[in-house]
Structure formats: C-alpha cells, structure tokens
C-alpha cells in the first residue's frame, strides 16, 4: 500500500497498483446495522483472491465459482441475497479478508456525504440513515 488518508470514519488507501481501497473505523461507521450492499449485490471477484491461491486471502469455503476465473460470496450468487459473511449487526465477519470489490466500495464520497448508493439501499430496505 502506498498511502492513506482519513475522512469521516473512512480511511482511503491508495494501493501500489493504482487502486483505491476503503477501511471503516469502529466509531461513526454507517455500515453497522445496515449492510444493504452485502445483501443486495452479487459479491463477485477474481478467483486469485481466494485463500487457496498464492497470495489470496478470501476464505474459499465461503465462496462459489461464477466462471473459471471469478468467484462470489455464498448467498450473493443471484444478487439480492445476504452474504454469508454478514453478521446480524451488518458487520462483515471476514472484514480483514473481504474481497477487493468490498474494499473498493466507499461508504462516503469525497465531500464527506454518504454514498448515494448507500442511501438508495437504505431506503429500499427501510434502514434509517445515520
């Protein structure tokens, strides 16, 4: 990782390969009690992220194959299904080992506002906005 900055409860991490990842702090995390994205989208990613691959970290036992080169988290294969790693409070049970697609989804926009997609999913699932 090449560098990071914090805005709100979100840490922005710029990777050496030019990607941007986001980490959320315990305090002020709007995902706790929500997890709308974890139960709405198919969480699919490159199979090289699986812990059965060299350098991989996502627990393969929690995934299903999508194509020969892509996997998805169990429960999300059809979309609009709860990710197997989502806990009852909306937290990710494998947060430190979550796939890149989850790491690349910002809860907050650059101006500090909540991601419009988060707001849409909160409305869709009847979840209060923090």
3-state secondary structure of 16: coil
Please tell me the predicted confidence (pLDDT) of residue 8.
58
> What pTM was estimated for this model as a whole?
0.80
Q: What is the pLDDT along the chain (130 residues), one digit of tens a residue?
A: 444 444 457 788 888 888 877 777 776 678 787 888 888 999 999 999 999 999 999 999 999 999 999 999 999 998 878 999 998 877 899 999 999 999 898 888 888 888 999 999 999 989 888 7
Each domain of the chain, given as residue ranges in start order, spans 3-125
């Amino acid at each position: 990782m090449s560098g990071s900055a914090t805005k709100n409860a979100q840490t922005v991490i710029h990777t050496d390969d030019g990607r941007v990842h986001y980490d959320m702090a315990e305090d002020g995390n709007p995902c706790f009690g929500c997890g709308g994205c974890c139960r709405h989208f198919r969480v699919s990613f490159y199979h090289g992220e699986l812990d059965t691959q060299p350098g991989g970290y996502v627990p393969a036992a929690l995934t299903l194959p999508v194509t020969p080169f892509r996997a998805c988290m169990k429960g999300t294969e059809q979309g609009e299904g709860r990710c197997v790693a989502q806990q009852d409070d909306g937290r990710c049970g494998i947060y430190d080992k979550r796939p890149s697609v989850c790491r690349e989804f910002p809860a907050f926009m650059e101006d500090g506002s909540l991601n419009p997609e988060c707001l849409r999913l909160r409305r869709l699932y009847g979840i209060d906005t923090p």
